[in-house]
Amino acid sequence: MTTFRKFTAGAAVLTLAAALSACSSSSSGGGDDTSGSSSSASGGGTLSVWCWDPNFNIYAMQAAEKIYQQDHPDFSLDITEVSWDDLQTNLTTLAQSNQLDQLPDIFLMQNNAYQKNVVNYPDLFSDYTDSGVDFSQFPDSVVAYSTVDGVNYGLPFDNGTAIQAVRTDILADAGYTVDDFTDITWDQFITLGEDVLAKTGQPMLTGQAGSTDLIMMMLQSAGASLFDDAGNPTITDNDALNAAIDVYTRLVKSGVLVEVNSWDEYINTIVNSNTAGVINGVWISASIQSAPDQSGLWAVTNLPKLDGVAGATNYSANGGSSWAISSNADYALAADFLNSTFAGSTELYDTILPASGALANWIPAGQSAVYAEPQEFYGGQAIYALVVDFATKVPSNNTGVYYYEARDAVGVAITAILNGTDPSAALEEAQQTVEFAMGG
């Protein structure tokens, strides 16, 4: 009896699974076409896209779809939501197992991961040479992330320009305004920050322990990085890095920057008013604005610059991402779609900015009236026009194929330095770690 029941159940499940996969193969037959190589057979065509964040990138893609449909009524997008970590895993798996026909037409890639992916897996990408996109309409520093040997592999989308956002109410309690924090150096910043801390008890900055975001922003603000032009690691004998680490150590030791342990805690210090300011890519604005009770209390300005470092500026960037056209794409359609939307439609950027806070890297969009509108949350400041202006002043730097190895090694070094290790010894070890990783 029992056996009989068990085995019927088993058989039923097998049938169910088979049925499921049968309907999968029939419907994914359609899916395969969209991600397949020759989707332009139908004329209008569908493009498949991988990207993450429904409120941001996916929203922007959908808006672009609507705009492109005005002239191409048969056009549609098939968007798959994939988090960045998962997208990277998928790309690596497909490239490594040589299953490139599973790639979508377009995918989004973090700017910091571009060099690594293009150099290791060039056959994932189609380059933009024949796309008609005018890359001179994007800031050089942003285009540089996705350029390998002079060839463009990415259309910059998500803007990673760095901002310093401050709480004007807390600064006022200490007798300062946002102007006191504009166009200053890090030495001045620490002095001001110590005063704010003494008067209000609030730190000026928050940061994740072991994260190198702030250090990397300081480096880029001076056009420096962890690699030289030949791709060799330059963690030792790097003036900008030494200066950045010195500043960071002083920030932590003085309490002007409070370190927390995770991203959730980091966001918590911002939305629950436990910091007087924050420095990050402009995209942090979305998190800042998730605390509606703080409306009108924030202002945005540029970053402090490193003292005594050649080429130091008040401008930098953190993160951001760009659209890649895959090697499996309907190239003509994908290129035309991207060129007429993300590299050619003010209407698109005017739509997505107010709704999602997605800021253009495409310089012509910055001239639109929408960008000049005062933002209530930031006390009436026209922050978007301001940031688009910042973006043009960010120095380019070399991310490098071994970006993550180097960044992680520096993160370990900083933790050690804050625990009392001699900086030059810690950096020497970081240099060796990266050299080891590059050696195999």
Binders of another protein among 337-396, rule CB under 8 A? none
394/320 Cα distance (integer angstroms): 13
By CB under 8 A, residue 249 contacts another protein:
no
DSSP structure class, residue 255: T
Judged on CB neighbours under 10 Å (0-12, 13-18, 19+), 179 is exposed
Between 172 and 355, name the residue whose CB sits nearer to another protein: 355
Q: Contact between 132 and another protein (CB under 8 A)?
A: no
Q: Write down how long the chain is.
A: 440
Closest CB to another protein among residues 24, 70:
24
Q: What angle do CA 355, 343, 388 make, to 5 degrees?
A: 60
How far the first Cα of the chain sits from its last, in Å, is 60
Q: By CB under 8 A, what part of segment 62-81 binds another protein?
A: 80-81
| 14, 151, 355, 372: residue in contact with another protein (rule CB under 8 A) | 14
| Nearer Cβ to another protein (163/401) | 401
CB 257 to another protein: min, Å: 14
The residue type at 345 = S
Q: Please, which of residues 199-228 interact with another protein by CB under 8 A?
A: 209-210
Which tokens hold the place of 402?
Answer: 């071994």
Query: Is-contact 221 303, C-beta < 8 A?
Result: yes
Q: Which residue lies nearer to another protein by CB, 154 or 281?
A: 281
Closest distance of CB 211 from another protein, Å: 9
Q: Does 93 bind another protein (CB under 8 A)?
A: yes
Our CB check for another protein shows the closer of 65 and 405 to be 405
Q: Which of 88, 254, 313, 396 is close enough to bind another protein by CB under 8 A? A: 88
Q: Which of 377, 415, 423, 428 binds another protein (CB under 8 A)?
A: 415
Return the closest-CA partner of residue 91 out of 63, 121, 71: 121
93 versus 177: smaller Cβ distance to another protein: 93
Q: What are phi and psi of 142, to 5 degrees?
A: -80, -40
Q: Which of 226, 284, 334, 391 binds another protein (CB under 8 A)?
A: 284
Residue list 21-50, contact with another protein (CB under 8 A): 21, 24-25, 27-28, 31, 35
Residues 251-270 that bind another protein (CB under 8 A): 259-262, 264-265, 267-268
Tell the smallest beta-carbon distance from residue 10 to another protein (Å): 5
Q: Yes or no: say if 396 and 141 are a contact pair by the CB < 8 Å rule.
A: yes
Q: Which is nearer to another protein, 26 or 136 (CB)?
A: 26
Q: How far apart are CA 204 and CA 185, in angstroms?
A: 14
**Of the residues 363, 389, 416, 423, which one makes contact with another protein according to CB under 8 A:** 416
Two tokens at 140? 């050089």
Instruction: Choose, by CB under 8 A, the member of 62, 76, 90, 396 that binds another protein.
Output: 90
Q: Select the residue interacting with another protein from 89, 129, 295, 367 (CB under 8 A).
A: 89
Tell me the closest approach of the beta carbon of residue 38 to another protein, in angstroms: 18
Measuring CA to CA, which residue among 56, 132, 161 is closest to residue 344?
132
Does position 408 interact with another protein (CB under 8 A)? The reply is: yes
Residue 55 lies near another protein (rule: CB under 8 A)? yes
**329 belongs to the binding site for another protein (CB under 8 A):** no
Nearest CB to another protein, comparing residues 127 and 336: 127
Among 246, 291, 382, 396, binds another protein (CB under 8 A): 291
Using DSSP's 3-state secondary structure scheme, residue 33 falls into helix
Strands 76-81 and 205-208: unpaired
CB-nearer residue toward another protein: 363 or 412: 412
Name the region of 296 (left: φ>0; alpha: ψ -120 to 50; beta: rest).
left
Residue 190 CB: number of other CB atoms within 10 A? 19
Number of residues that bind another protein (CB under 8 A): 83
Give the one residue of 20, 172, 310, 425 binding another protein; rule: CB under 8 A. Answer: 20
Q: Which is nearer to another protein, 17 or 172 (CB)?
A: 17
- Torsion (CA) 337, 105, 107, 150 in degrees, nearest 10: -80
CB 111 within 8 A of CB 319: yes
Report the alpha-carbon distance of residue 425 to residue 422 in Å, rounded. 5
Q: Kindly state the smallest distance separating residue 37's Cβ from another protein, in Å.
A: 16
Q: Is 425 in the site for another protein (CB under 8 A)?
A: no
Closest-CA residue to 215 (of 237, 241, 189, 234): 241
In contact, 242 and 433? CB cutoff 8 Å? no
